[in-house]
Amino acid sequence: MNRTTAGLSAAAVLCLCGAVLFYNEETTYERQNADPYMVAAQAERLAPLAAAVPRDAVLGYITDAPGGPADTAMFTAAEYTLAPRMIERSANHEWVLGNFTRPGDFFAYAKDGLMLQHDFGNGVVLYRRAGKP
Amino acid sequence: MTELFWVVWAIVLGVTLSFSLGGFAALRPRWGGILVASGAGAAGGIGLSALFYFIGVLRGSATLAIAMEMTAIFGGAFLAWKRRWPRTAEVSESRGLKLTFAAAVALLLVIVTLAFAAAWQSNPQGNWDAWAIWNMRARYLAAGDGFAARAWSPVLGAASHPEYPLLLSSFIASCWAFSHSVSELAPIATGYAFFLALIAMVTGGVAALRGPIMGLAAGLVLLASPALLREAPAQYADVPLACYMAGAVLLAMLDRPVFAGILAGFAAWTKDEGLLFLAIFLVVSAVIKRRAAILALAGALPVALVAVAFKLSLPKLATSFTGVSGGGLASRAADFSRAGIILAAFGREIAAMSTSWYHPVLPLIALGVACGLERERLRAAVYSGSVALLLLLGYFGAFLVTGYDLKWQLDTALGRLLVQVWPLIVITAVAAMRAPKLAAAPAPKAQKKISGRR
C-alpha cells in the first residue's frame, strides 16, 4: 500500500468514525431534548381558542410569564400555532389571548373594557373588548 | 403525505431544466455530471418553485405558480428529450478504490439519515428558528385570502424577523397551500432535499474538477462534518444557503456561469448573508473569471432583483440588523476589544465543529498528506478560497459593527455562519490537491527498480 492509498483509506476511515460518533451524539441529544419549548403541544392547547377567533384577527397578548427566553418561547409558539392570526404584546385589541403559566385569578386582567370571554383551561384564556360585536 | 408530492414536483422541475439546459452532459465522469445536474436541479427547482409561488401570491393567485411550473417542466422535458446525453470515454482511475469510496459515501448517507430520523421524530417542528421564523412565515404565505403580507408585517415579533428573505418560507408555503395540509412533512423533506443536493453537487462537481476519487472524498468529508449535520434536520435556512453558495461556486469553477449566477441569486433570496455572498461572488468572478462574471450576473439578476426589491419595499424596522446597528457604528468598529472577542469566538466555534475526538479537518489533512498540493490547480482553489475568505471577513465585520449584544449574537449565529462556509472550504482544500492517480503513478525508473527487486 503506497502513501496515497494509505492516506485516502485513513481519510475514509476517519469519516466513517465521524459519522458514527455524530450518530451517537445526535440520537442521545434528541432522546433528551424532545420538543424543549413544547411547540407541538400548543396545537392541542390553543385549538379551542383558534376555533373561537376569526382567522384575520390580530390578537392582543397578556401573560404572567416573567420576561426572558421562556416568555419569548411562549409568545412565539402561540403566534406560530395560531397563524394566520397575528399576536401583538398589548391588551389594546378586540381579541386578547391570555397565555398563563399557572392557575390564578384571570378575571383580574379583565379591566379597562376588557372582558373575560372564555377560560379554555390549561392557562389559555380569551378576553374580548367590551362594545365590540 | 401530498406535501411530499410538491417537494418532489419542484425537484423534478429543476432537474428537468438542468438536464436539458445546464450543459452538464459534457462533464466527466458521467456520474459526476449527473450528480451535479441533479443537485443543482433540485436546489434550483425548489428556488424556482418558491419564486413562482411568491409571485403568484403577490398577484393574488397561487395557481399562477402551478401554471408557471407546468410550463417550465414541460418545456424542460421537451428539451431534455431532444438533447440526449452522449456516451463518451470515462475518466480512468482505480476501479476498486472508486467503488470502495462510493460504498463509503452510501454507508455514511445511511448513517446520517438515521441520525436525522431521530431529530425528525423528537423535534418534527424543527429547532427554534424553524418555527419562530421560517415555518411561521410560511404559514402566513400559505393561508391565502390576502394573509401573505403578514409574513413581512412589522406586527410580527422581532424574534420572527419579518425582514428576512422568503425563499424557504415561500417554498414550504407552496407545498402546504397546494396540498391543503400544514404538516411538518414539507419542511422536513425540504431540509433533507437541500442537504442531499449539497452532497450531490459537491461530490459530482469535485469529481468533474479533480477526478472521481477526490469527488467522493469531498462528499465523504461533508457527510462526516458534525456541525453541518446538526443543522440539516433543524429546518433552518443555513443548509439551503450553504447549498446555493457551494453550488454557485462549483458551477462557476465548472464554467457554467449562468447556472452559477442563478444559484447565487437564489442564495440572496434565502438569507441576508446570501446578499453578501452574491456581491462577493460577482466581484471575485469579475476579478478571476472576467467575462464569465457578466453571464453570472445575468443569471443572478432576476432573483436578486426580487430579493433587493423586497428589502427596499419594507419599512426600516428598529429591530432589524441595520436598524439596531445604525447608531454608534463607528465607535464599535474602532473598538479593538470587540475584535479580540470575535476572533476568540471564531476559534471556539471552529473547535466546536467536532464531535468527541473527531474534527472534520482531520480527513482533509489525511487527504492533503496523501495527495499533496498541485501548483497548476491552485487557480481554481484561489477562486473558491477567495469567496470563502471574503465571506468570513464579511461575517467578522458584521459582528464588529452589530448593535445587538455581541456575546448573544456570537453564541447564537457564528456556528451556523461557519456551516454556511464549510462546504466552500472543503471544495477549496480538495480543489488544490493533486488527483490521486497522478500521485500514485510511479516514475518509470522507480518502477523498473521495484520489478527488479522482485
Q: Which of A15, A22, A55 sits opposite B363 (nearest CB)?
A: A15
Question: Residue A107 corresponds to which amino acid?
Answer: F
Using CB atoms, pick whichever of A6, A40, A72 lies closest to residue B159.
Answer: A72
- Contact: B370, A8; criterion CB under 8 Å: yes
Judging contacts by C-beta atoms under 8 Å, the chain A residues touching residue B125 are: 35, 39-40
Cell of B245: 453558495
Q: For A30, which of B107, B122, B156 is closest by C-beta distance?
A: B122
Q: Do A80 and B369 touch (CB under 8 A)?
A: no
According to the model, what pLDDT value does residue B319 have? Answer: 67
pLDDT, mean of residues B308-334: 80
Tell me: pLDDT of B88 over 70.
Answer: no
**Measured between alpha carbons, how far is B398 from B392 in angstroms, rounded to an integer?**
10
User: Cβ distance B41 to B64 under 8 Å?
Assistant: no
Cross-strand pairs, A59? A87
- pLDDT value for B450: 39
Yes or no, beta carbons of B143 and A16 under 8 Å apart = no
Q: pLDDT (tens digit, 9 = 90+) per residue, A45-66?
A: 999 999 999 999 999 999 999 8
User: With contact defined as beta carbons under 8 Å apart, do B29 and B1 qualify?
Assistant: no
For residue B373, what are the β-bridge partners? Answer: B433
* CA–CA separation, B131 and B149 (whole Å): 18
> Which of A14, A55, A76 has its CB closest to that of B160?
A76
Shortest CA distance to B356 belongs to which of A33, A30, A34, A23? Answer: A23
Preferred mutation among B127, B223, B358 to probe A, highest tally of A CBs within 10 A: B358
Long-range contacts of B402-408 (CB under 8 A, 24+ apart): B402/B321, B402/B324, B402/B325, B402/B332, B403/B321, B403/B324, B403/B325, B403/B326, B403/B327, B403/B328, B403/B329, B403/B332, B404/B321, B404/B324, B404/B325, B406/B338, B406/B341, B406/B342, B407/B341
Q: Do B355 and A21 touch (CB under 8 A)?
A: yes
Residue of chain A nearest B134, judged by CA positions: A80
Is pLDDT at B157 greater than 60 in this prediction?
yes
Report, as an integer, the average pLDDT of A105-132. 90
B370 → closest Cβ in A11, A25, A55: A11
Contact B111 A20 (CB under 8 A): yes
Which one of A1, A3, A4 would you mutate to disrupt binding with B, by most B Cβ within 10 Å of its Cβ?
A4
Contacts of A19 in chain B (CB under 8 A): 108, 111-112, 223-224
Residue B76 in this model has a pLDDT that exceeds 80:
no
Predicted local distance difference test score (pLDDT) of residue B329: 81
Tell me which amino acid residue B190 is. Answer: T
Of the ranges B195-209, B368-382, B392-406, which one carries the lowest mean pLDDT score? B368-382
Residue of B182, B359, B369 to mutate when probing chain A, most A C-beta within 10 A = B369
Best mutation target among B99, B105, B114, B125 (most A Cβ atoms within 10 Å) is B125
Interchain pair A10, B225: CB under 8 A: no
- The model carries a pTM of 0.93
Q: Is the pLDDT of residue B93 over 70?
A: no
CA distance to partner chain B, nearest, from residue A91 (Å): 14
Q: Residue B87, exposed/middle/buried by CB under 10 A (0-12, 13-18, 19+)?
A: exposed
**Residues in A touching B433 (Cβ below 8 Å):** none
pLDDT given at position B145: 81
Q: Are B195 and B244 in contact (CB under 8 A)?
A: no
Sequence-ordered list of residues with C-beta below 8 angstroms from that of B25, at least 6 positions apart, any chain: B33, B83, B85, B86
In chain A, where the domains are located: 1-34, 39-129
Q: What three-state secondary structure class fits B32?
A: helix
The stretch B331-343 carries a mean pLDDT of 90
Q: Which residue has the higher pLDDT, A97 or B333?
A: A97
A23 pLDDT tier (thresholds 50, 70, 90): very high
Binary contact (A16, B108; C-beta < 8 A): yes
Give per-residue pLDDT as tens, B65-74: 777 777 777 7
> What's the whole-number average pLDDT of chain B?
90
**pLDDT grade for B437, boundaries at 50, 70 and 90:** low
Complete DSSP assignment for A36-98: TT-HHHHHHHHHHHHHHS-TT-EEEEEE-PPSSHHHHHHHHHHHHHHTTSEE-S-S-SSEEEE
Q: What is the pLDDT of residue B239?
A: 98
pLDDT value, residue A8? 93
User: Is B20 within 8 Å of B80 (Cβ atoms)?
Assistant: yes
Q: Higher-confidence residue: B64 or B247?
A: B247
Q: Write the residue in B136, B147, B358 that is nearest to A18 by C-beta.
A: B358
Residue range B238-284, pLDDT digits in tens: 999 999 999 999 999 999 999 999 999 999 999 999 999 999 999 99
Measured between CA atoms, the residue of chain A closest to residue B213 is A8
A-interface mutation test, from B105, B156, B169, B231, most A Cβ less than 10 A away: B156
Q: Which residues of chain B lie closer than 8 angstroms to A57, CB-CB? A: none
Q: What is the mean pLDDT of chain A?
A: 93
What is the C-alpha separation between B273 and B266, in angstroms, rounded?
12
Neighboring chain A residues of B147 at a CB cutoff of 8 Å: 55-56, 84
Q: Is the CB of B439 less than 8 angstroms away from the CB of A35?
A: no
pLDDT at B453 over 70: no
Asked if pLDDT for residue B349 goes beyond 70, the answer is yes
Query: A108, A133 in Cβ contact below 8 A?
Result: no
**Which residues fall within 8 angstroms of residue A129, CB to CB, at 6 or more apart?**
A93, A94, A95, A96, A113, A114, A115
| Residue B122: closest C-alpha in chain A | A34
Contact A26 B140 (CB under 8 A): no
**Closest partner CB to A15 (pick from B122, B157, B224):** B224
CA–CA separation, B167 vs B237, rounded Å? 9
Place of cell 479580540: B340
Q: Is the pLDDT of residue B399 over 70?
A: yes
- What is the value of ipTM here, to two decimals? 0.94
Helix (H, G, I), strand (E, B) or coil at B94: coil
A80 → closest Cβ in B115, B131, B223: B131
